[in-house]
Amino acid sequence: MTLASREQMTAKAPIRRWSMAAEPWLYLSPALVCIVTVLLVPLIIGISYSFWKFSAFKSQFAGLDQYRAMASDTVLHDALVNTLWWTVGSLFFQFFLGLGLALLLNRPFYGRRTVQALVFLPWAVPTFLTGLTWSWLFNPLIGPLPHIFYALGIQSEPVTILASPQTAMWGPIIANIWFGIPFFAITLLAARKSIPSEIYEAASIDGASAWQQFTKVTMPFLAPTIAITVMLRTVWIATFADLIYVMTQGGPAGSTNTIATYIYVSAFKALDKGYASAIAMLLLVLLIIYALLVIQMRRSLLKDA
């Protein structure tokens, strides 16, 4: 009996081993197929597009012409500057206001759960609604903000800030801040809650003031979370076109045109997918450089610490 079963086993073992190895891939295959066909293949095709020129009737190989065209495209240059403004402006306020909110919510108080639900709600509001709502708030006919700004003396007359090239970018940035605070607040609150309270007790026994506790305990503990979330959010905001598209469509006079909206508009409205793809490549390269810089900085910071 033992002998027979042993023979069976040797025959069975390779099949069994093979099926054990194949099992996870079986479960993963729908996800992988989906991602490869709908994301990776288009990505590669998109890269190849950047070497072509498309028009209504024909498409032809253009080599590096599209990339050369970028060099003399003043709209693109303005869009680069706008992208920087948009990203830095949104991120700065999202982060600091989010951090403030996280620290406030970390303290226990009556009604905290309700407050938490209310302040996190903007995160769930669809971006097209965020964009529309804020452009309505800036509208002097039905919105209160121009009148408030006028009363405060910020504006010389109650008009929408979205109409003037000087101020238009603040519209989407404010909407983006509103929408993005919860993200930072939630992630930083989770990180803050993971700091053991004994450390604060030890620090206060050692004589640290509230401010010292914040700079010497809270911030060092939050630093890794901050580094990773800020980096990911930068990439995300830089490529986030919805809000601007809804609120200003890049106008007036291109003053809110970022690279992301420019790609969208060139791909969708203009016919030249080749040029849009070339800009997308530029954006991708810039973001990769940014990510590498951040990783490098983080490494040298860690080395110092």
Q: Which of residues 221-260 bind another protein (CB under 8 A)?
A: 228-229, 232-233, 235-236, 238-242, 245-246, 260
Q: Cβ–Cβ contacts within 10 Å for residue 284, how many?
A: 14
* Binding positions for another protein, 61-90, rule CB under 8 A: none
Please provide residue 49's backbone torsions phi and psi, each rounded to the nearest 5 degrees.
-55, -35
CB-wise, 255 or 273, nearer to another protein? 273
Instruction: Give the other-Cβ count within 10 Å of 266's Cβ.
Output: 21
Other Cβ atoms less than 10 A from the Cβ of 31: the count is 9
Interaction residues for another protein, span 16-45 (CB under 8 A): 21, 23-25, 27-28, 30-32, 34-35, 37-40, 42-43, 45
Applying CB under 8 A, among 160, 187, 255, 256 the residue interacting with another protein is 187
The nearer residue to another protein, 190 or 253, going by C-beta atoms, is 190
Report the residue number, 169 or 263, with the smaller CB distance to another protein. 263
Residue 248 φ/ψ, nearest 5 degrees:
-135, -10
d(CA 210, CA 6): 71
Q: Could you say which residues in the range 41-60 bind another protein, by CB under 8 A? A: 42-43, 45-46, 49
Residues 270-289 that bind another protein (CB under 8 A): 273, 276-277, 280, 283-284, 287
Which residues make Cβ contacts (< 8 Å) with residue 245, sequence separation at least 6?
A: 131, 261, 264
Q: Does 201 bind another protein (CB under 8 A)?
A: no
How many Å apart are CA 267 and CA 199, to the nearest integer? 54
At its nearest, how many Å lie between another protein and the CB of residue 304? Answer: 25
- Among residues 152 and 304, whose Cβ is nearest to another protein? 152
State the minimum distance, in angstroms, from the CB of residue 2 to another protein: 6
Cα–Cα nearest to 135, from 253, 261, 244, 257: 244
**Is residue 96 a contact point for another protein (CB under 8 A)?**
no
Residues 142-161 that bind another protein (CB under 8 A): 142-144, 147
What's the CA gap between 158 and 147, in Å, rounded?
A: 5
Q: For 82, which DSSP code?
A: H
CB of 299 to another protein, least distance (A): 19
Token digits of residue 189: 């609150």
3 state SS of 77 = helix
To which residue do tokens 């996190």 refer? 120
Beta strand extents in the chain (DSSP E only) = 52-54, 59-61
Which parts of 115-144 interact with another protein (CB under 8 A)? 115-130, 132-134, 136-137, 141-144
Contact between 188 and another protein by CB under 8 A: the answer reads no
> At closest approach, how far in Å is the CB of 96 from another protein?
13
